[in-house]
């Protein structure tokens, strides 16, 4: 018996002393499922790809240096919020009143801590406020004036509402209002997309996801889409991380992000198939969009069922892959 105890102790020591192999770092980024071939130009596409690559390399540097997945999704989303090319932060689409109204969320997989914000007008980087809600408050979601008051208390940078407005978004709003006046519908399905997001796997095998958006052109009445709703637009657990982009009303009804990860956890469904199945449900209801999905084993998928989606990945060796359309 003593021999068995000694043997068990020795084995336990060996297991404890054996270093756990480092995970291969992976980072995925999306710039929204709103890409249309009719609006595509070589100059615009090149500029968008350059911003996505800049975001990918900044997040990859965090991971390469041993940083957390949480930091690695915060950094690229913040970069894309600062770019006027995407529907998040500066350059966000405008609501019916001509304002940018911003939402964001973030989630850490291994702890399942989460933070979300909605209805912002003056917070320069909504993703930083979402993270502050997660780390510096007992809450998961804050909205509107209360969220902006919390941002002031946290010392986050505030800007004038006009900071977010760019001419292209003003033109889009004018077209949307003309469509509405012509009784073609207040919402143009082709103008409902946008959003930026990231998912990451760090050297410790931890996952995180983050998403930020301006919502949809010509929205009103305090409309909130899927992005700040944990489980709809953003979700992460120990095995799976998802950031979504698309027609938020449908993503909420399907619970896209959580459903993908649930299929992986409970059914053992491969990442890519789980994402395809859930997006098929969105399509069946009349919506479209896309997701970026990353597993703890480093496998990932970037599917979409819209015309195009700005998307990119970077692997452990720093190899970058970026695409917009399916070619």
Residue with tokens 């966000």: 92
* Active-site entry in 41, 61, 74, 195: 195
Residue with tokens 């894309």: 80
Structure tokens at 312: 């990119």
Q: Minimal CA–CA distance to 101: which of 114, 115, 87?
A: 87
Task: Say how many C-beta atoms besides its own lie within 10 A of residue 112's C-beta.
Answer: 12
Asked if residues 243 and 292 have their Cβ atoms less than 8 Å apart, the reply is: yes
In the residue annotation, 245 being an active-site residue is answered as no
First to last CA, the chain: 66
Alpha helix locations (H) across the chain? 2-17, 42-64, 69-81, 126-136, 144-153, 167-181, 248-254, 256-262, 271-285
DSSP 8-state class, residue 289: E
Q: How many CA atoms lie within 13 A of 149 on its CB side?
A: 5
Q: For CA atoms 113, 118, 120, 126, give the dihedral sign.
A: positive
User: In whole angstroms, how far apart are CA 198 and each of 40, 268, 275, 316?
Assistant: 23, 23, 16, 16
Known catalytic residues are: 195
């Amino acid at each position: 018996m003593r021999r068995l105890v000694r043997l068990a102790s020795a084995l336990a020591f060996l297991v404890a002393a054996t270093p756990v192999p480092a995970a291969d770092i992976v980072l995925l980024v999306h710039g929204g499922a709103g890409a249309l071939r009719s609006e595509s130009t070589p100059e615009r596409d090149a500029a968008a790809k350059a911003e996505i690559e800049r975001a990918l390399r900044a997040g990859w540097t965090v991971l390469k240096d041993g940083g957390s997945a949480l930091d690695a999704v915060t950094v690229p989303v913040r970069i894309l919020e600062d770019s006027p090319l995407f529907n998040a932060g500066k350059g966000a689409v405008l609501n019916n009143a001509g304002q940018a109204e911003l939402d964001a969320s973030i989630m850490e997989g291994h702890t399942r801590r989460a933070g979300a914000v909605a209805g912002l007008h003056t917070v320069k980087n909504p993703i930083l406020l979402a993270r502050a809600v997660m780390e510096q408050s007992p809450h998961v979601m804050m909205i509107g004036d209360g969220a902006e008051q919390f941002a002031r208390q946290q010392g986050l940078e505030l800007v004038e509402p006009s900071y977010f407005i760019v001419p292209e978004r003003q033109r889009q709003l004018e077209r949307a209002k003309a469509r509405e006046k012509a009784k073609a519908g207040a919402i143009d399905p082709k103008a409902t997309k946008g959003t930026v997001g990231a998912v990451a796997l760090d050297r410790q095998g931890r996952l995180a996801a983050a998403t930020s958006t301006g919502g949809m052109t010509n929205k009103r009445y305090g409309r909130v889409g899927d992005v700040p709703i944990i489980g709809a637009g953003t979700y992460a657990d120990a095995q799976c991380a998802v950031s979504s982009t698309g027609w938020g009303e449908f993503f909420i009804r399907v619970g896209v992000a959580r459903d993908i990860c649930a299929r992986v956890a409970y059914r053992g469904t491969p990442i890519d198939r789980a994402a395809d199945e859930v997006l098929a449900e969105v399509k069946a209801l009349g919506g479209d969009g896309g997701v970026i999905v990353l597993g703890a084993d480093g496998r990932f998928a970037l599917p979409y069922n819209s015309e195009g989606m700005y998307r990119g990945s970077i692997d452990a060796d720093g190899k970058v892959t970026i695409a917009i359309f399916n070619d």
